[in-house]
């Protein structure tokens, strides 16, 4: 369960995120009559590594940190998934995130499986030196699992291109040569891809445009609320504003700001860079993250952490369209409530897949040592996102199910087919 901020209720029915994912997998497997053996495999993670490692802090003391690297399923290709630095990282959260990555890569039909990593820490109170020492030791500890042909990490909450650079360097030093493909989300100078930083937020923008068109909503007149003005939410807000949307509220971990006349995402970013929070921005009303989710708007983008929309607040959501920028922001119970109220949800495994799509492009470029310009990256991203959206929408309409169910059906069908074709060794 995530830690709620700004005095928000901690009441949430999905206390174990991995059990929530398992229940959704169970429902889809039963609906599709998936083979029992395949169903059983999808309920479990293939490999789970827990590491407890020492880091020397700036004051000379040694602190022991706990980290994880989980591979859920690699039937369709190397495992792929980010690394999260956050005080609330847990084993079950990491399992859930790994499973979502398996589904996400299958939805957009790129040749990856799913993985996730995390370290229980608070990067906001650590110095650059402490973060580097933590990262290099953690990378060494999980090096038995990662590699360009078997498991490729990437940034997530609390990590960034610099952290990826340290992991790439640590792995490469142990190998004795530079290995560009071991990590994605790297700086451009170390084999990163143009367009990668904006990719997840861009995917959210593309999903919003396609969904709005399907709903008959004029995107140029839409009002947008974004929870989580970090890498994903900030980029989504900026790109949606460029499409003509009016961004009326945004938030970070310290709280939110609201102005029904609209906010300038670029100027809000300037304020956050100067003050470390969006709170206090000029000509805005302060709101809590809980209040922000319930504001009147056309499009809501939850881009913070898991389980932010749950049974207690789902009846109060006023958005017409929800674009899940975060992984798992809506619980199963909330999904049912939103569906009954006619609110369209574009699920995380589709809406925020832009990051893993361009990570795949980065991996391919690194292996080939041939890099593309940003326009080509964005064109290819749009093509993959559009194909995935149409496939999910087609299943949704044909089977008369919501978009999440349709996305899970598409993903599990592809994974089950791959498992059947490969068989069981020996």
DSSP string covering 140-160? HHHTTT-BTTTEEEEE-TT--
Tokens of 57: 């802090």
Report how far residue 133's alpha carbon sits from residue 180's, in angstroms, rounded to the nearest whole number.
21
Please, which residues have CB within 8 angstroms of residue 302's CB and are 6 or more apart in sequence? 227, 228, 293, 308, 309, 322, 324, 325, 326, 329, 330
- Report DSSP state, residue 14: -
| Residues 308, 387, 410, 321, CA torsion sign | positive
Contact status, residue 187 vs residue 165, Cβ threshold 8 Å: yes
For the question of residue 116 being annotated catalytic, the response is: yes
* Given the residues 80, 116, 194, 272, the one annotated as active site: 116
Q: Phi/psi at 253 (nearest 5 deg)? A: -65, -20
Report how far residue 175's alpha carbon sits from residue 139's, in angstroms, rounded to the nearest whole number.
13
> Three-state SS for 58?
coil
Tokens of 238: 């900026």
Give the rounded distance of the alpha carbon of 380 from its chain centre.
20
Q: CA dihedral defined by 102, 103, 109, 113, rounded to 10 degrees?
A: 10
> Which residues are catalytic, by number?
116
């Amino acid at each position: 369960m995530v830690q709620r901020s700004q005095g928000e209720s901690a009441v949430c029915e999905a206390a174990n995120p991995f059990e929530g994912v398992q229940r959704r997998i169970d429902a889809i497997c039963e609906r599709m009559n998936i083979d029992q053996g395949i169903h059983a495999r999808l309920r479990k993670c293939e490999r789970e590594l827990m590491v407890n490692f020492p880091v020397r802090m700036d004051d000379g003391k040694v602190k022991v940190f706990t980290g994880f690297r989980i591979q859920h399923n690699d039937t369709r290709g190397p495992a792929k998934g980010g690394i999260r630095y956050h005080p609330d990282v847990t084993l079950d959260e990491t399992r859930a995130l790994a499973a979502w990555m398996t589904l996400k890569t299958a939805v957009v039909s790129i040749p990856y499986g799913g993985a996730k990593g995390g370290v229980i820490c608070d990067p906001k109170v650590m110095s650059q030196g402490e973060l580097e020492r933590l990262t290099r030791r953690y990378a060494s500890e999980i090096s038995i699992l990662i590699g360009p042909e078997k498991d490729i990490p990437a940034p997530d909450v609390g990590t960034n291109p610099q952290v990826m650079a340290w992991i790439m360097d640590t792995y490469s030093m142990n190998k004795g040569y530079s290995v560009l493909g071991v990590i994605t989300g790297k700086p451009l100078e170390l084999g990163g891809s143009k367009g990668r930083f904006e990719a997840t937020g861009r995917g959210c923008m593309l999903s919003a445009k396609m969904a709005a068109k399907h709903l008959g909503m004029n995107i140029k007149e839409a009002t947008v609320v974004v929870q989580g003005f970090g890498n994903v939410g900030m980029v989504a807000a900026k790109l949606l504003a460029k499409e003509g949307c009016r961004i009326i509220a945004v938030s970070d971990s310290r709280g939110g700001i609201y102005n029904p006349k609209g906010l300038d995402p670029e100027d809000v970013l300037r304020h956050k860079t100067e003050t470390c929070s969006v709170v206090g921005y000029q000509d805005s009303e302060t709101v809590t993250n809980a209040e922000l989710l319930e504001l009147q708007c056309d499009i809501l983008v939850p881009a913070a952490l898991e389980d932010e929309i749950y049974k207690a607040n789902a009846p109060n959501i006023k958005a017409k369209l929800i674009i899940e920028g975060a992984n798992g922001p809506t619980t199963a119970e909330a999904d049912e409530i939103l569906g009954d109220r006619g609110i369209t949800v574009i699920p995380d495994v589709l809406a925020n897949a832009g990051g893993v799509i361009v990570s795949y492009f980065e991996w391919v470029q690194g292996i080939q040592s041939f890099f593309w310009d940003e326009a080509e990256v964005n064109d290819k991203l749009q093509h993959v996102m559009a194909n995935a959206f149409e496939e999910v929408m087609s299943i949704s309409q044909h089977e008369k199910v919501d978009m999440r169910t349709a996305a899970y059906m598409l993903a599990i069908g592809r994974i089950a087919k791959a498992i059947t074709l490969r068989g069981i060794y020996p």
